[in-house]
């Protein structure tokens, strides 16, 4: 859609050659925040997993069960 609409507008000024540049820049601007969000979500998820793993190794989860606290 970006290429189709951009080509129609750029044709009026004789700048059809810039359609590929328009699509490239617009896709970069759309995908950059999406990729950043995926990376941040992955980093946060792995931090939680590492914390839970550390608690399991140091037997903190077992201690919570012993004193009557549900670890979930």
What average pLDDT does range 52-60 have in this prediction? 86
Spatial contact of 3 and 23, defined as CB atoms under 8 Å apart: yes
Tell me the chain's radius of gyration from C-alpha atoms: 25
Model pLDDT, residue 6: 80
pLDDT computed for residue 29 by the predictor: 84
pLDDT above 90: percentage of residues in the chain? 15
Residue 37 has a pLDDT of: 92
Model-wide pTM > 0.75: no
User: What value does the mean pLDDT of the chain take?
Assistant: 86
């Amino acid at each position: 859609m970006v290429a189709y609409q951009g080509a129609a507008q750029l044709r009026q000024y004789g700048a059809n050659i810039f359609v590929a540049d328009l699509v490239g820049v617009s896709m970069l601007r759309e995908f950059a925040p999406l990729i950043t969000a995926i990376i941040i979500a992955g980093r946060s998820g792995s931090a939680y997993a590492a914390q839970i793993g550390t608690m399991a190794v140091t037997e903190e989860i077992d201690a919570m069960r012993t004193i009557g606290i549900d670890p979930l």
